[in-house]
Amino acid sequence: KTGTAQVFSLRGAEYDEESLAKKLQDHALFIGYAPAHQPTIALAVVVENGGGGGSVAAPIARKVFDAYFDARP
């Protein structure tokens, strides 16, 4: 599974995000840490009804990671 939490089941129908009510769209999730060796920050981003995690939650996480590392001496 990708970084997306399914809100409801479609039972044989195809998922068309544009035709669904916003409250029924999947949640976007991203969990990560940095740097890869000896991490100093861990982060979880959840965007309710945000769609895909890679396109919605990951860019938010990137901004947080960038701000964290830019603020360090």
Instruction: Evaluate whether 5 touches 26 at the Cβ level (below 8 Å).
Output: yes
Q: In this predicted structure, what is the pLDDT of residue 69?
A: 96
Q: What are phi and psi of 60, to 5 degrees?
A: -65, -45
Angle at 25 between CA 48 and CA 28, to 5 degrees: 45
Question: Which comes out higher in pLDDT, residue 29 or 1?
Answer: 29
In the chain, the number of structural domains is 1
pTM above 0.85, yes or no: no
The rounded distance, in Å, linking the Cα atoms of 41 and 35 is 8
Which residue range(s) make up the domain with 27? 4-71
Helix (H) or strand (E) holding 43: strand 41-47
Q: In this predicted structure, what is the pLDDT of residue 39?
A: 97
pLDDT band at 61 (very low <50, low <70, confident <90, very high): very high
